[in-house]
Structure 1
Amino acid sequence: MEDKDIYKREIAKVRKVQLHEHSPIHAAGPVIEPGNWERYDPFLLLMEDKFQKGAFDIHPHRGIETVTYVIDGAIEHYDSHSGKDGVLGPGDVQWMTAGSGVVHNEVPSEGVTAHSLQLWINLPRDKKMTAPRYQNLKGNEVPVREEKGVAIRIFSGSSGDVISPTLNHVAVTMIEARMDAGASISQELPGSYKGFIYIIEGSGVFGKNEVRASKGEVLELGTGGKNGTGEIDFTAEEPLRFLLYAGEPVKEPVVARGPFVMNTEEEIQEAYQEYMQGTFLK
């Protein structure tokens, strides 16, 4: 008998992610598309990119956090807050709190095509102008939950009894699961969380409604309950690797222009004015 306070989450929607060539050195596609603020809250967008050096130039951000996961290749990064360069490899995550403002860049190593996912997380009004923060999460150093045929790396939040030390302004669970064929596991999530799954390799069966999905597909989680804890089930039909992102909705107005996400149009105009006048960095 199931615990009356725990219920099974369903999969509401499945979609194939399509990458489109933007230039000879950059192809990209939305895993979750911007503009659906209430639907994906607290998440603003998730882009999948395959790119080489020169695809992006140095650029600013304010009012958000960016979470970059490297699928393949190597990305060299620089940000104005830490003033340091670093390299992210496959399975590594860069968790950057832009807050009041950072200027940064992400550049694949020379001769390398990087394959990455970048998530934007909205910050609530009282954290929009928080001090920038950078967390470098190496895949081989984050906590791991191990079950039979399953290894779950916890980049944020928790899985089973394993808890990540990653600092959050918005409550977010981010896990990477690697499962052997035939293996099964469940992930608990607060009922209020919204979220989605992106399959990097393999295929499996997901959710209470047993939805089958495979590499390159994104699965949107069904609505949870207002109270209590939900549970999402996974079974691998073949060796499976996926990411799950879920978080607590911010429930505030979103005004987004380019790299800035604030609550009002006036705040967006102020960010652009400060950037152009050279007073952007606090």
Structure 2
Amino acid sequence: MLAQINQREVSRVDTPSIQPGLSPAHKVRPLVESNDQIATDPFLLLMEDWFPIGVFDRHPHRGIETVTYIIEGAVDHYDNHGNSGQIAAGEALWLTAGRGLVHNEVPANDKPAHLLQLWVNLPAKSKMAPARFQEIHASTLPVRREDGVEVRVFSGSSGSAVSPTSNHAPVTMVEILLQPSATFRQELPAGYNGFVVVLEGDGKIGASQTPVAAGQVAWLTRCAEESNVSFAGGDRPMRAILFAGLPIGEPIVARGPFVMNTVDEIDAAYAEYRRVGQGFGAL
């Protein structure tokens, strides 16, 4: 007899509100906040932003990966390692800050952008890894299709669809497009901590079919073994993104754009940035 796969439930549903941003033209919705990093490990925060050109300037990072997913519009990106490019709606930029970089993401074509940005913690062994970027374009995304279901795999896997995205901290990121009559199950590796962001429509998540709708974030129960989470269509087509990752379980010291394991490491990051400025992390 085959072993029964554990079914995840929804542990809670958050309904974050839109808040004023850095300027009158900037709006932000904190989808995952940084005030309980044991509960959200390996994820540090997730913000939803609506912004025009000029809101953000060049800024540094160290010790994390950032994942930028474009909901509407397009973004030009560049960094001090000589990398640049553009990602459009339905695409993502997976940026490893590692030992350090200075970068910016600017709305393209003089039009405002609407995006999600996730900060993923790096384990201590990878915090000083060389910086790198990975553009994940729609044309190259692995896709899993079932009746009434399309799953676009940005990282990790879904069924036989496997993403080539490289991670220092293992992460599954899949976008799920679900029609009202459809059902679907996404497998999750043992121990992964996960949540679902509903971008459009409505549906039901988990073995008990907890209802969710656009603008909500559903956190999943933990499971030490291999498991899956079920999705069922609601009254309207649902578009959602599942993020799941293996908790790191290490000390976190965060100050501004730097996330390390000790205060001394944070102090060293700021000292290096003050010393070399825009050349931070480039060597």
State the alpha-carbon separation in 2 of the partners of residues 210 and 239 from structure 1: 16
Displacement of 1:110 after TM fit? 4.3
Deviations 1:193-252 (A, max 9, x none): 00100001100010012100100000001111x23x111000111211000000001110
SS of the residue aligned with 1:198?
A: strand
Aligned equivalents of 2:121, 2:158: Cα separation in 1: 23
2:227 corresponds to which of 217, 223, 230? 230
Q: Give the Å deviation of 1:84.
A: 3.1
C-alpha contact 1:271 1:280 (8 A) present in aligned 2: no
Write out per-residue CA displacement over residues 64-94 of structure 1, whole angstroms, 9 at most, x where no aligned residue: 000000000111111122x133111100100
Q: Match for residue 160 of structure 2?
A: 161
- Given that 2:200 and 2:214 are in contact with CA atoms closer than 8 Å, whether structure 1 keeps it comes out as yes
Give the structure 2 partner of residue 141 of structure 1: 140
| More displaced stretch, 137-146 vs 17-26 | 17-26
1:128 aligns to what? 127
- Measured in 1, the distance between the counterparts of 2:221 and 2:112 equals 35
Structure 1 vs Structure 2: percent identity of aligned residues? 47
Distance (whole Å) between structure 2 residues aligned to residue 186 and residue 80 of structure 1: 41
Alignment-mate amino acid for residue 264 of structure 1: T
User: How far apart, in 2, do the equivalents of 1:55 and 1:160 lie?
Assistant: 40
* Paired residues for 1:32-43 under 5 Å: 32-43=32-43
Q: Secondary structure at the match of 1:140?
A: helix
In structure 1, distance between residues paired with 2:201 and 2:191: 29
Summarize deviations over 1:26-60 as a string: whole Å, max 9, x none: 11121100131110111000000000101100000
Structure 1 residue 51 and structure 2 residue 51: aligned?
yes
Kept after mapping to 1: 8 A contact 2:102/2:280: no
Corresponding position of 1:255: 253
Contact 1:53 1:110 in 2 (8 A): no
CA distance in 2, matches of 1:213, 1:11: 10
Q: Show structure 2 runs of 5+ residues with no match.
A: none
Would you say the 8 A contact 2:75–2:87 is kept in 1?
yes
Question: Does the aligned pair in 2 maintain the 1:29–1:47 contact within 8 Å?
Answer: yes
Provide the C-alpha distance between the structure 2 equivalents of 1:114 and 1:140, rounded to a whole number of angstroms.
Answer: 20
CA distance in 2 between counterparts of 1:18 and 1:140 reads 33
What RMSD, in angstroms, separates the aligned Cα atoms of the two structures?
1.2
With normalisation by structure 2, the TM-score equals 0.95
Give the corresponding residue for 1:94.
93
Which residue of the partner structure matches residue 244 of structure 1?
242
Q: How many residues align?
A: 278
1:207 alignment partner in structure 2: 206
Match of 2:270 in 1: 272
Which whole-Å CA distance do the structure 2 matches of 1:72 and 1:24 have between them?
19
SS in 2 for 1:53: coil
Distance 2:179 2:154 in 1: 21
Matched, 1:180 2:162: no
TM-score, reference length from structure 1:
0.96
Does structure 1 retain, via aligned residues, the 8 Å contact 2:209–2:232?
no
Q: 2: distance between equivalents of 1:89 and 1:236?
A: 27
Q: Secondary structure at the match of 2:110?
A: coil
